[in-house]
Amino acid sequence: MNRLFGRGKPKGPPPNLTDCIGNVDGRAESIDKKISRLDTELVKYKDQMKKMREGPSKNMVKQKALRVLKQKRMYEQQRDNLTQQSFNMEQANYTIQSLKDTKTTVEAMKIGAKEMKKAYKQVKIDQIEDLQDQLEDMMEDANEVQEALSRSYGTPEIDEDDLEAELDALGDELLLDEDTSYLDDASSVPAIPEGVPSDTKTNREGVLVDEFGLPQIPAT
User: Quick one: pLDDT at residue 169?
Assistant: 75
**C-alpha closest to that of 72 among 121, 108, 35:** 35
pTM: 0.45
Integer distance in angstroms from the first to the last C-alpha of the chain? 155
pLDDT at residue 210 is higher than 60 = yes
Mean of the per-residue pLDDT values of the chain: 78
d(CA 131, CA 146): 23
Distances from the Cα of 17 to the Cα of 14, 20, 81, 94, angstroms: 10, 5, 17, 10
pLDDT at residue 3 is higher than 70 = no
User: Quick one: pLDDT at residue 65?
Assistant: 87
**Residue 166 — left, alpha, or beta (φ > 0 → left; ψ -120 to 50 → alpha)?**
alpha
pLDDT at residue 193 is higher than 60 = no
User: Quick one: pLDDT at residue 145?
Assistant: 87
Q: Give how far the C-alpha of residue 120 lies from the chain's centroid of Cα atoms, to the nearest Å.
A: 36
